[in-house]
Amino acid sequence: MLLPLAPILIAGTALSADPAAPVAGDADAFKLSLTLEAWFPRLEGNFVDGPADIDVSAADLDDSAPSFAGELGLTRDRLSVALRGFSMATEGRGPAESAFTLGGLAVNAGDALDNSFSWWSAGAQVAYDFYRPLAEQPTRWSEPRAGWTPAANNTDLSVFALVSADVQGMQRALANLTSGLSTDANETFAGVNAGLGFRLAFDTKEWFPVVRRVDLGASAAGGAILPMAGGDFGFGMRVEADISFWFCPKGAAYFGYRYVGGSYDGEEVALDGSLQGLRGGIRIEF
């Protein structure tokens, strides 16, 4: 099976926007960042085939699949722009636990299956920190605070708004080895999301020398999904959370969780489902 290779992208979103810098840092400096990530998502939900909903587990496509994700970002002051993407693939082999029909392929309980499913995504996100309650200037439109001093442990809290656009592709291949029949389906979707998030960062070097700084962040965004080859509009969501440990001024290790899903209603592939699972990686600033 040919798996589309998603561009490797991401970092520099507001979740990773210069957590090693002081609260009142150099606002005019551009900062480039790169994130390389291992993601372990599990496909969940139902394939939709006419009036029938077929759980992805019926096709044995619900196992956790080690996948790659990445991000390339550029940050200046409160504004972050990021390119991002991921690519995953999962396979299912063995006897069918129950009978179903999907994509015109009939499967009886006990039939030998050889199935696969892949999902890739490539897109961009723009985020803006509109509120920093601990900073000298909480918003871009507020006056600097008289007599301001940095918070304890150089703590910085940011609340940000984001907008994103992504292209996502899905490929499903089903083979009934018992009957000798098979079916393939491909679909590409475009999605536009808007949402909110936060980031909390604080120094730890004084009481935990191995880690210089810790950065906690989360974001949630939702919006429209449009099949690019015909179909109906759907609603999608993307939720992410992570914690980063900065071992040096320009490098961090992190782990977290990601959910990407919604209602994907294409002509060949229709899925009410998601990818979700743990993730971890490294983040480097240049």
Residue 208 pLDDT > 90: no
Q: What is the pLDDT at residue 50?
A: 85
Q: Kindly give, in sequence order, each residue whose CB lies less than 8 Å from that of residue 94, ignoring residues fewer than 6 positions away.
A: 60, 112, 113
Q: Provide, rounded to the nearest whole percent, the portion of the chain with pLDDT above 90.
A: 85
Confidence band for 24, pLDDT divided at 50, 70 and 90? very low
Q: Dihedral angle at the C-alpha atoms of 203, 209, 211, 212, nearest 10 degrees? A: 40
For residue 203, give the nearest of 253, 251, 164, 155 by alpha carbon: 155
Average pLDDT, the chain: 90
Q: What is the pLDDT at residue 257?
A: 98
What pTM value is reported for the model? 0.88
The per-residue pLDDT for range 219-245, each reduced to its tens digit, is: 999 999 999 988 899 999 999 999 999
Q: What is the pLDDT at residue 229?
A: 87
Question: Can you tell me the distance from the alpha carbon of 259 to that of 168, in angstroms, rounded to the nearest whole number?
Answer: 14
The per-residue pLDDT for range 88-131, each reduced to its tens digit, is: 999 999 899 899 999 999 999 999 999 999 999 999 999 999 99
